Amino acid sequence: MAALLFTIAMTGCSKKRPPETDPGMRDRTETPGAADTGADADTGDPSLIDRETAMATIGEMIFFDFDRSELSPDARGVLQEKAEIMRQYPEISVRIEGHADERGTVEYNLALGERRAEAARQYLIDLGIDADRLTTVSYGEERPMVAESNESAWAQNRRDEFIAVGG
């Protein structure tokens, strides 16, 4: 019994080996006060947006007032972000899909959806995006985001959607 206690005591008190380190890590030292700059890991440029964030921003919708196709200040801000990303990722093209709420005739809403998509397209062109990278389509009232008949639903259905293609 004494031998067993002695063995347990000795193993519990034995020196522990330092953990193995990667041979390449031995020569590296961390500079005190060095911090992550938030830069893109591939380029080191902090102004570049990672692809996942870029695709989420490209997909962000803009909304319109009732029976209007003019861009709101909020919509212009969203489009400016899209233009910045499209400059960073020149391989990406965008399809702009115009939508309307259910009020009005089918023909009128198709035309309104087209005017909305074209307003966004023209603004992106004005911001320096090549027209060849932008296409438009109107779905009018045919693809509602919210299938209800009330002010809240109608407001959500008056929109442009942006679909990244290519790249």
Token pair 């391989």 in the structure block, residue: 91
Give yes or no for a contact between 120 and 72, defined as CB atoms under 8 angstroms apart. Answer: no
Query: The pTM is what?
Result: 0.72
Q: Is the pLDDT of residue 2 over 90?
A: no
> What confidence category does residue 128 fall into, taking pLDDT thresholds of 50, 70 and 90?
very high
Q: Is the pLDDT of residue 20 over 50?
A: no
Give mean pLDDT, residues 99-126.
99
The better pLDDT of the pair 10, 55 is held by 55
Q: How far apart, in whole angstroms, are the C-alpha atoms of residue 72 and residue 28?
A: 53
Superfamily the domain 51-165 falls into: OmpA-like domain (3.30.1330.60)
Q: Return all residues near 155 (Cβ < 8 A) that are at least 6 apart.
A: 63, 101
Q: Return all residues near 42 (Cβ < 8 A) that are at least 6 apart.
A: none
- What is the average pLDDT value for the chain, to the nearest integer? 81
Give mean pLDDT, residues 116-140.
99
What is the reported pLDDT for 45?
60
What is the reported pLDDT for 53?
92
Q: Is the pLDDT of residue 155 over 70?
A: yes
Domain extent listing, the chain: 51-165
Token pair 């290519």 in the structure block, residue: 166
Give mean pLDDT, residues 1-24.
42
List, in sequence order, every residue forming a beta bridge with 17; answer none if it has no partner. none
Give yes or no for a contact between 99 and 114, defined as CB atoms under 8 angstroms apart. Answer: no
What is the reported pLDDT for 29?
35
Give tens-digit pLDDT for 83-105. Answer: 999 999 999 999 999 999 999 99
> What confidence category does residue 49 fall into, taking pLDDT thresholds of 50, 70 and 90?
confident
8-state DSSP, 81: H
Give mean pLDDT, residues 52-68.
96
With 0-12 / 13-18 / 19 or more C-beta atoms within 10 angstroms meaning exposed / middle / buried, residue 126 is exposed
